[in-house]
A and B are shown apart, each in its own frame.
Chain A
C-alpha cells in the first residue's frame, strides 16, 4: 500500500458518508476513521515504516506500531455532577492488576475507598500505584492493560459518592 493509494482511500471517506474503513492487504492493515464535524481531531501519532505519512484527516495504523492516543477526544464528553476523570500524572505503561494473571485492582461498577489502588503505571521499572482521591464508583475504564499512557491521559471515569 503506498501513499497514493492511502490518499485515494481517504478521499473516498471525505466524499461519501463512510465514517470508518478497515482494509487488509499484502500484510498491511489500514484503519481510517472520519472525525465528527465540530469536535477536535485527536492527535494520534504512529510509527510507520519505512517513510512517515502525515494524515491530517484520518488515523493510519500499521501493525506493531506504538500508538499513544490523545486525551482530547475523551475529555470532550460532558460530565455529570460528581463525575471526574482520573488522569495519568506520569508517562508510563498502565497495568490494571498487580501482576499478569492477577485479579484487576478494580472492576467496572465497583465502589472504591479514598486511597484505594486503582491501577499501576510503570515508569522505568518503578511501579507507581494510582489511588482514588475519594469514595467513588468506577463508571468507566478508559485504557487497556499494558497500554502506554501520557501525562493528562484519562484512565478512569469515577463518580464520587
Chain B
C-alpha cells in the first residue's frame, strides 16, 4: 500500500481523496494555487505546497511544478481527482517516467477513450450500439450535408477532443448546418486546441444514463449500477440519481455488460464511467467513456456501500476487486444536488464571493461533499461548485423527501446559490413521477420565467 499520495486537485474532490487516504493510513500532500491558500484541502492534508498563482494553467495544470512537488515530498502515487490533469495521457506518462504511480487507467487506455470519435468507432466494432453519425472527424462540409440528409435532422456537431458539454451545436435544418459546423470548429480549437468535429444523430428527449465501472489491474471488471444524469443545463449536470427511474433490471444488465465490454476493449483499469443515451423506445447508444472518478460518484457509493475512491487507491496499489458481480447489492435510492454559486434568476451567472455564513444540513441519510466553510471565498478562477448534497432513502420517495428537508436546512449567505432552484426541481410533479429527460431543466427554467 502507498505511504504517501499527492492530490493533484483542489476543492471538494481534493478533500474527498484526502479523507480516503486518512482512512487508509496514507500520508497526504496537497497542492494549491495562491488563490486557494485558505482552502480546507490545504488545511487537512499533512503537507501542502504552493505550486503557482491563481490561473489554473500556471498551478493545477502546471505539470512541472506538480511533479517537482511530488519528487521533493517523496510521494509514491498521485491521485488526479476529476478535471485538470485527470484525463491527460501525457501527465500519466510523466508520472510513469518518475516512478510515481498514477491512480487511474494507463495512458494508452486513456488515450483510446479520449478521442471521442475514435472511441465511438471502437465501440461500434465491438457490437455496442452507437448513435448514427460520421465515421470519425468531418473532412468536409459536403460530407456533413450528405450524412445529415442520410441520418435525418436534427443532428448535432461535437468536438472530437471535447467533453463537459463544450463545443456542441444542434442543427435542425440544412440551412443552419454550414454555420454550425464552422462555429463548432472554432469553439473546439479555442477550448481543446483541436478543431476536429464529428456529426451524429440528435436524439430528442433522451435520458442520460451512465454506468460506473471498476477494473482491477488483473483485468477483472464489475459494474456498479447506473446513474441517471438527465437533469442538465447546457450539458452541465445539476442533479443525479441512482438507480434511474427509467432503467429496469434487464436494461441494467444489458447496459452494464455493454459498458464492461467497451472498457475491456481498451484494456481499462481503475474506476471509469461509460455514458449512454437512452431514447424513448428504450434503445441505448454509447456516447463516451470518462476515464476518471466523476463528480457524481457519491450517488453510487450510497446505494452500493462501496467507497469508490478507496477502491481506486487499492486497485492502483495492486489489490483485486472487493466483490464479484453477483455479490453486488443495490440498496435504496440516492440523489445528489450540485449546489453552485450561481444566480438562477440571471441565467445562472456565476456569483463568486465570500460566504459569510455556511451551515450544512445533517440528519439521517444526508451526506455533504464540500470544502466550503463560513468565511471562505468562492473565487472566480475555477468552477462555481460550492457543495454536493447527497440524500439517501429506502426508496425514491424518501430520498426526495430527505433532499427537500436538507435543502430547506441549508444556509449559505453572502453569495447567491442554486438551493432554491433545486427545490423547484424536487417539487416538480414530472420529476417526482420520474419523467425526466435532458430537456427537463430547460423546460423548467422556461416555466419558472413565465410565472
Q: Say yes or no for A141: interface residue by CB 8 A criterion.
A: no
Binding site for B on A (CB under 8 A): 43, 45-48, 51-52, 54, 66, 68, 70-72, 90-93, 123-124, 148, 150-153
A152 with B71: in contact, given A46-B46, A90-B65 (CB under 8 Å)? no
Q: How far is the CA of A141 from the CA of B45 in the complex (A)?
A: 29
A145 CB, min distance to chain B CBs, angstroms: 15
> In the complex where A45-B46, A46-B46, A66-B72 touch, is A124 in contact with B98 (Cβ < 8 A)?
yes
Do B68 and A45 touch across chains, with their CB atoms under 8 A apart? no
Complex CA–CA separation, A80 to B73 (angstroms): 35
Q: In whole Å, how far is A151's beta carbon from the nearest beta carbon of chain B? A: 5
| Residues of chain B having any CB pair with chain A under 8 Å | 4, 22, 25, 27, 34, 37, 42-53, 59, 64-69, 71-74, 98
Q: Known contacts A46-B47, A47-B47; is A52 also within 8 Å of B22 by CB?
A: yes
Please determine whether A123 and B46 come into contact, CB atoms closer than 8 angstroms.
no
Main secondary structure of the interface of A (DSSP, over half): loop
CB neighbours of A70 from chain B (8 A): 37, 50
Query: Are A91 and B47 in contact, with the CB atoms below 8 A?
Result: no
Contact at B47–A124, with CB atoms within 8 Å?
A: no
Contact check, B51 vs A150: say whether CB atoms are below 8 A apart. Answer: yes
CA distance in complex: A73, B95 (Å): 33
Instruction: Sort A-B residue pairs by CB-CB distance and give the 10 closest, nearest first.
Output: A45-B47, A123-B68, A91-B68, A150-B50, A91-B65, A150-B49, A151-B50, A148-B72, A52-B46, A91-B69
Distance, CA A48 to CA B46, complexed state (A)? 8
Q: How far is the CB of B410 from chain A (nearest CB, A)?
A: 27
Across the interface, A68 reaches (CB within 8 A) one of B27, B47, B52, namely B47
Decide: A43 and B42 in contact? CB cutoff 8 A.
yes
Chain B CB count within 10 A is highest, among A46, A93, A150, for A150
Is A47 touching B49 in the complex (CB atoms < 8 A)? no
Cα distance A148–B53 when bound, in Å?
A: 18
The minimal Cβ–Cβ distance linking A127 to chain B, given in whole angstroms, is 13
Known: A52-B22, A90-B65, A91-B72. A47 touches B46 (CB 8 A): yes
Residues of B within 8 A of A93 (CB): 72
